[in-house]
Amino acid sequence: MSDKLVDFHCHLDLFPDFEAKVRECDDLGIFTLAVTTTPRAWRRNEELASKTRHVRAALGLHPQLVASNGREIDLFEKLLPLTRYVGEVGLDAGPRFFRSMPQQREVFGRILDACVSGEPKILSVHSVRATTEVLDMVERRLAGSGNQVVLHWFSGTRSEARRAVELGCWFSVNAQMMAKPKSKEIFAAEVPLEKVLTETDGPFSETNGKSSTPSNARESVMAFAAAYGLSHADASSQVLENLRTLVG
């Protein structure tokens, strides 16, 4: 099992060869969470993923699309009982999306509330320049609910990482984010290795100048290993054990 890869956050449907990518993940045994950016995209992802052993489709409403697609929150709530996985959701307070923050808060709040009202979910959460606010909402709305939050491409501070750990959050890391010395330091100091998964965020990250694909989760494992002083084999085994713990 130690040679198996985990890509816990990848936009498979944004690759031009979407169906082939799903088959490739399954054929290679890459445990892949196919996140979606709008609820309308979920059904096709679910249709393809449901035929595989290794791919799961997550129901999403990306914070960067809330300004244009926020009304799809109604569809999100309708579809939510059909899946265990949620993503990509969250908040983005970056300059391009700051104006939509009031609407983002409303949508993310409804998503969290909906997750509490049914069977517990596993959420892949975006928190660019909004980590404290995301954690505030998670603490206030999900406490004691059994839902599991995985902070995708975490870019917060050391104190925010510590607080996220205290709240029981998980983290998914990729090679591009872990190439930053600050990220390495934060994870090594504050995040237990038992709470880390690997991701690629393909096609939005790059490996060797090209869009990352799930097979590039190998580089994510290498980055995780370097941050924690582990061998590649031990890091790979740890990620798989973490995945088993998370998904039960």
HSE-CB of 148 using CA atoms within 13 angstroms: 16
Domain boundaries, the chain: 5-247
Q: What is the pLDDT of residues 50-89, one digit of tens each?
A: 999 999 999 999 999 999 999 999 999 999 999 999 999 9
131-142 and 101-117 helices, crossing angle to 10°: 30
Mean per-residue pLDDT, 147-153: 98
pTM of the model: 0.97
Bridge partner residues of 90 (DSSP): 126
Strands across the sheet containing 55-57: 5-10, 30-34, 55-57
Q: Which two tokens stand for residue 105?
A: 């808060």
Q: Is 11 annotated as a binding residue?
A: yes
Q: Is 160 annotated as a binding residue?
A: no
Q: What is the pLDDT of residues 83-127, one digit of tens each?
A: 999 999 999 999 999 999 999 999 999 999 999 999 999 999 999
Q: Which two tokens stand for residue 96?
A: 């391009």
CATH 3.20.20.140, domain 5-247, yes or no: yes
What string of DSSP letters covers 170-216? EEEE-HHHHTSHHHHHHHHHHS-GGGEEE---TTSSEETTEE--GGG
* Residue 3's pLDDT band (cuts 50, 70, 90): confident
Q: Express as a percent the part of the chain with pLDDT over 90.
A: 99
Mean per-residue pLDDT, 25-31: 98
Output the average pLDDT for the chain: 97
Q: Is 62 annotated as a binding residue?
A: no
Q: Is 54 annotated as a binding residue?
A: no
Mean per-residue pLDDT, 196-203: 98
Element (H, E) at 87: strand 85-92
